[in-house]
Structure 1
Amino acid sequence: TILHPPSQLNPTPHPCIDPTPPNHEHIQLQDRGQYLCTAQNQFGSDRMVTTLAVQTEAPKIQQPKSTEIAMYLGKSMALDCLASGKPPAQISWILPDRTFVREVGTVRTLLSPMSLLQNGTLQINSANFSNKGDYKCIASNAAGADTITYHLHVAALPPSISEGAMDTVIIQSGIVDCVATGLPDPEVSWSLPDGTLINNALQSDDSGLRNRRYVIFGNGTLLLQHMGKKDEGDYTCYAKNKLGKDERKVSVIVGPNAPKIKLKSHSFVTVKLGESTSLSCQATGEPTPRIMWISPRNDVISVSSDKFQIMDDSTLVVKKVTLADEGKYTCVARNSAGDDVKNLKLEVEPQEPFINGMKGKSTTKVLGVSYQTVLLDCRVEGKPEPRVWWVTPYGHSLTTPYLGGRFQVHRNGSLELRGVRKTDEGKYMCLAKNHLGEASFLIELDVASLAEKPSFAVPNIEILPIKQDGGELILECPARGKPKPESLMASISTCLVLLMAGHRRQLHGPYPMVLFWTNLKPLAGYLFSPMGPSNSGRSPPLTKEHTFVKPSTLLAHQHCPTQLL
């Protein structure tokens, strides 16, 4: 035999005496017995026999406080069956109708709906009289079994209304009580003075006409919404279940009710500059409360004005909101029983500057007359309030407000030039800026040395026959003036030209027609009218008469005669 140093042998460790024991997971009873371990290498082999004994424990069901269970008709009940044991016990139930239940989930039975939970508990829902009887729980494993039996009793009570048979109540809150008891819980319904019957399902909308004015709470209480004198009368409360019914009659008298404003939490409104917004204020009370609005300046707001309008439902409309319209608006609802107040804060949304209602860049031309005053408008809006300044044709910057020599910049941003001269001609730019953006308004100023009002060439009266062949009729209106008048092609002109082009029916007049105007002097134009009725069926000639028309007159007559279209 040749012996080698121990360091050269390098025997592998004995696998059966490894200090780390084998890991046995989920040991079952059938795993018990003898296990043979064999180890070998080039020098030989060894064997070891291990005997595995599995400890077991028969199931033990945790005892409840009582196995006599009483439950009410229509109620739910949980029957517990918590068991210990090794291995864990399998839970099963035997129901009163001899149904055997082992699978977790909904139970198929002729009894009321029930289910078996994961922990072995049997859940009974909406019990009826067929549920009474014995419920046996069985906990079993390989080591044995344990059982427990519940004796279930189902009870019921007829309905009972606690209040007296007849009551007279004076209500202000709109609540009429009807507290009913019974097992199963009774269903409560009400009969209204007009004979309408309502319950929890219908809620008495009366095909939508009542707008859910009547609401029955779960405890049977009746709520009368928007209550008034029309709601007075006899109301009857009915309580009914499977064992019987009860009723109570209530004579309702409506007393004075102080106003109550709805949705007080809605107290903050934002709006964009230039847009309109609505502030809501709806109140209930008896007598019907009167609504009054107070502005941020503590002024009572009239029903209708250029800035405000109060609608029929008391909603306040603020038209074309400006920064000056911001603040707290107060709604006051008042009647003989008291009043209620709601405050609403109106705030303009942050917005880039606007100049004369325009965003960004805009331009225009303005004509002035020597040694007269010219006002260049620059109405600026924006939030936060923009910084406003003017730049003159010579590059001078004029801040708001500014006063120097003949130039003055007003607080509203407008630039006033007094005693304007020819040398003042050029481009004036109004600029507005805040952190959200900027806007500019370029005004090109021309100065006329002499002004002359518009006038027309002779003759001032002209007879114009209408062609019967449907051909076009050209109306010539030459005008002179300083500065040169600008032509106005309004809808009236279009209507009249179409009329001349092919209309063959009898005309009725007169029909105003303004063709020329100027921004310095009153409007000038011609008045066209028929000379008289036509007896031959043909259209009569038209007369053209020189006239001056005020702007208000022009606006009042700027339309097409409907009988001629």
Structure 2
Amino acid sequence: RNPSAMTLLTKPPFLSSLKGSSAPPTGEQVAPSVTGGIGQPVGLSCKASGSPEPHTFWVLPDGNIVRKGSVVLGGFIMQSNGSLFLPNPSLRDTGHYRCVAVNQYGSASVSMNLEINPRKTLSFGDAQRGPQSASGRSTKIRAPLLLWTRPPRMQLASYREVTIHQGGEVHLECQASGVPTPLLSWVLPDRSVLTPMANSGNRISMYPNGTLHISSTLPSDRGAYRCVASNSAGAASASVRLHMSSLPPVIQQPREENLLLAPGGPLYAHCTARGAPPPTLRWRTPDGALVRPSQFLHGNLFVLPNGTLHIRKIGPKDAGSYECTSFNAVGTDKRTVRVEMKEEAQQAEVIRDAKNMPLSTPVLKNKSSSHPGFQPQTASLMSITNGETLRLPCSSSQAPKNTLGSLSWTFPSGKVVSRGDSGESGRYLVQEDGTLVIHQTSVFDRGTYTCRSTSPDTSLVSVVTVPVIIIAYPPRITTGPSPVTYTRPGVAVELPCLTIATPRAMVTWETPDMTQLRVLGQARIYGNRYLSPRGSLVIQKPSSRDTGFYRCTAKNVIGVDTKTTYLHVI
């Protein structure tokens, strides 16, 4: 049995009446000393049991504490079985080590001394004998072999930033030199430690050469990663901040489209989308079937790799609504294409107006007929930049005979507003001439708008559809801080953060103490920190307490961009 193992199985008599098996780890033990050599891996064993299961940690000679999943200077690693592992011990690691186990009922500990031999002894063979004695025998030379060491040195930049689309693959390199060869490990954003021997599952792993691999990134993967290189002469580290860019899908075509086609002709319904991670497209046919890109259906319908729905020869059975859905991990967007056959439209165009006639009464489109006429129109595509004012005239309402008739606009969301109506605190208004005015447009206003007007004598019904797209783009920090910034105590330093975005981005700074500073229209002062309206953060009279990570974030409804710097006050 290993003398340095601690097994805690005893129960105090007063616990015997408790339900279950609730026993504290008990007993204090002193284990024999452990001897190791410079640069030779050594392990200190500690096993604890109790109910509830005790929490175990190690207290080092310098007072530092090592817990499971943590790495401290020198490369100390506490393994899952409770043992303390020293991959490259040095003389400074000599001392008293204490393993402590604690649960709610008490604690127990075992202590031991670790002795590291300062040198090795080399015995030369007969080929290296010394002078012979008078008896003819040679003397054997025994000399100390001193080990030459060199602390680790990182071969890559001490700080760098990497931006990846959500769902993408990441390789973070880590290279270091030293004598003896340094042991490499990664400290993840959640402060867990990853080594080549102990990978945290298949999605995040570490190659033997030190490269950290993330097969498919998630939002929780953003943050700071630290590569630690350690050997018997010391330790070094390098940090990588991983940024995740995410953008919900935005379909580039109008949200709604009506097509009037002749039988026997082809159909092309386009559907392309942008997003991060790259969105997935699916088409739903009128009968409910789902079709993905590069897939055939019924030998007549095919979705091209770029998302375009193609029907070779369209017929009456193909009429109906086709819905394109674009989705990724952060959102969904949809577009609907309604297909109608010309043949059917010419035979009977039905006007359903509850004020004028029963819903079941068909009205034939005939110029000589006394029934109301139906005049559908489709306006050209209207594009406008996010934040501008949108004006949509209802062209059919311009004729004097129609000015006294009824008029209404239908929004892409299905909301209906009539002449003179307004809403959302005056953001939209239908003017007397039928023009729909929308102030401060956003990407949520895109889609197809429909104006329906009826003449005073109800003899004419006009319908005008207007497809609208809103031009917007995610934030981009055009001038940001360098990855590492240096300054001297008392010398002011400026951290720039200039952005462009449509709509305008909200800019915030995060300081080392996790304080959030928001850029406003006026300059703000927070202690020794000056925040300008343009986004720059100025630290006046900096000191060592201002050292740390500063992150600028620009965000709007389209996306996010960030820049981070590590400020050294030296």
- Structure-1-length-normalised TM-score: 0.33
Higher RCO by CA contacts (8 Å cutoff, separation 6 or greater)? 2
What TM-score, normalized by structure 2, do the two folds share? 0.33
Greater Rg by CA: 1
